[in-house]
């Protein structure tokens, strides 16, 4: 027998073995399900990836998230242990089950994101001082080892479930009226560079600024409309009330964390337009 024939026979044997191991019927005790006619029109329930911080230490986080009130699919420690050269994260809920991490939420027209998302809690204290504008130093940073573990986990999830960049979001993005996590120090740009989530192109932002002062006031309604199109639950009435300001602040914490005061300004407007150009004009 030639080497080529041997390889071909081995491949055929492997395929036959795989087919033989694939169940065609499933006995569930009181009935049998025939699995020989799988439908093409089906997809995963998982459409979003939501990032959080825990606000407490690792032990406390695990105690709360395995208790009776809230839950999450994954917890990333602030100092993950390494096993066989790889970081270890905690999985608390199977991915095919709903975890109670998103609460009342909305993104890109979808509500009840608990039913359609995977949640990741990062062990991080969040604000450790005043949380007003330009207060980055008053938040706990995310250590490099934690960020590396988060990248490995997130990259795997978005690849397996084909989650689009604009559907990798923070808790504050989907619930801006009541949440501020994962905060302005969350490494969104680093995640983007690793292939996870969305980020505007700097050249596009500069082009949309068109020489304007980044801090120059901008009309409220156009920015509201841009953010609504991107995914935020926001009014489009042109009024900079507290609710709209919280949405603007959430957007700025995500994409311009140096200033998240919630004002309508030229740079925020340019970033929003650059994101729409990149992800929605196709």
Which residues are tagged catalytic?
Answer: 121
Buried b (16+ CB within 10 A) or exposed e, 146-179: bbebbbbbbeebbeebebebbbbbbbbbbbbeeb
C-alpha–C-alpha distance, residues 271 and 279, integer Å = 12
Q: Which residues have C-beta within 8 Å of that of residue 13, sequence separation ≥ 6?
A: none
Q: Distance of alpha carbon 31 from its chain centroid, rounded?
A: 39
Query: Do 199 and 192 form a contact (C-beta atoms < 8 A)?
Result: yes
- Cβ neighbours of residue 235 under 8 Å, at least 6 residues apart? 224, 243, 244
The answer to whether the CB of 77 falls within 8 A of the CB of 89 is: yes
State the DSSP code for 93. Answer: S
Contact of 47 with 166, CB cutoff 8 Å:
no
Peptide bond into 182 cis (omega under 30): yes
- Residue 279 and residue 269 in contact, taking contact as beta carbons nearer than 8 Å: no
Cβ neighbors of 71 (< 8 A, separation 6 or more) are 65, 92, 93, 99, 100, 101
3-state helix, strand, coil in the chain (%, to 5): 40, 15, 45
């Amino acid at each position: 027998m030639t080497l080529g024939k041997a390889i071909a026979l081995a491949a055929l044997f492997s395929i036959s073995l795989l087919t033989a191991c694939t169940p065609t019927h499933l006995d569930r005790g009181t009935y049998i399900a025939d699995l020989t006619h799988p439908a093409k029109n089906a997809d995963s329930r998982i459409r979003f990836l939501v990032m959080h911080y825990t606000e407490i230490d690792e032990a406390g986080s695990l105690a709360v998230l395995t208790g009776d009130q809230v839950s999450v699919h994954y917890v990333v420690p602030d100092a993950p242990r390494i096993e066989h050269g790889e970081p270890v994260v905690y999985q608390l809920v199977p991915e095919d089950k709903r975890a109670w991490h998103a609460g009342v939420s909305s993104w890109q027209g979808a509500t009840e994101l608990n039913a359609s998302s995977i949640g990741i809690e990062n062990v991080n204290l969040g604000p450790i001082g005043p949380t007003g504008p330009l207060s980055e130093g008053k938040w706990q940073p995310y250590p490099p080892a934690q960020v590396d573990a988060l990248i490995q986990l997130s990259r795997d999830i978005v690849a397996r479930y084909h989650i689009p960049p604009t559907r990798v979001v923070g808790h504050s993005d989907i619930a801006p009226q009541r949440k501020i996590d994962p905060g302005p120090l969350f490494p969104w740009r680093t995640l983007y560079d690793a292939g996870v989530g969305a980020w505007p192109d700097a050249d596009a932002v500069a082009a949309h600024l068109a020489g304007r002062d980044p801090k120059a006031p901008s009309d409220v309604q156009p920015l509201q409309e841009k953010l609504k199109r991107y995914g935020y639950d926001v009014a489009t009435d042109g009024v900079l009330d507290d609710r709209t300001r919280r949405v603007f602040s959430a957007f700025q914490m995500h994409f311009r964390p140096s200033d998240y005061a919630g004002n309508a300004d030229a740079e925020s407007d340019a970033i929003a337009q650059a994101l729409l150009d990149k992800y929605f004009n196709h």
